[in-house]
Amino acid sequence: MDEEQIKDGMVHAAKNQAALLEEYFELDKDIIIVEKLKIHHGKSDKNPVDRLRFLSKAEMIDLYDLPVEQLPEAKLVDDSNYRSFLPHSFQDRMLRIFCKKNDPNILHSVHVAFEAFISGEADGPITTLPYSGQSLPVFLTQDDSDSSGSNDEEEITASASKRPNISFYEEIKKRSKR
């Protein structure tokens, strides 16, 4: 799923939540920034230790006194010998969503739309992502400490949201009690 599909899915989720909450939540996909990251150990999703060779402890004795021609040959070790020490995955994937606007209502709408989108609570063609864990919102805001007077959208800093992390259905219950 590419970044544009994620934006479209979030906009669709926002429209669905507007219908459910009987409130108007229009999200413009131009204010949403989607960042997909892959972090790995240099070999993508493959085990980087598979390319290494090792010496046994017995062969490590007196290596410094031997000439280069007499050094022992390092051997590939079967991964069953160290499998319990390996992570289950050698590549982490992250999805981060940012908003260019500083309006608290828009920021909250983006957060709730994203939560509905990734949890599959919104009806629509794009509702699921391979996602696990708790989302922590980060909203982009203009840096007010810059005294140059520039309103360039490139000059933005991340600030953490003060809103609690609540699910889409909890948000519906909360708003229906008002």
CA atoms within 13 A on the CB side of 161: 24
Domain coordinates of the chain in residue numbers?
3-40+94-176, 48-85
Tokens of 135: 């989302």
* Res 156 pLDDT > 50: no
Q: Beta partners for 34?
A: 97
Q: Give 44's pLDDT tier (boundaries 50, 70, 90).
A: confident
Tens of pLDDT, residue by residue over 19-42, are 666 665 678 889 999 998 888 777
Distance CA(142)–CA(41), nearest Å, equals: 34
CB 124 within 8 A of CB 9: yes
Q: How confident is the prediction for the chain on average, in pLDDT? A: 70
**Surface-to-core class of residue 35, CB atoms within 10 Å of its CB (0-12 exposed, 13-18 middle, 19+ buried):** exposed
Q: Beta partners for 103?
A: none
CB 141 within 8 A of CB 31: no
Tokens of 134: 């708790």
CB 95 within 8 A of CB 131: yes
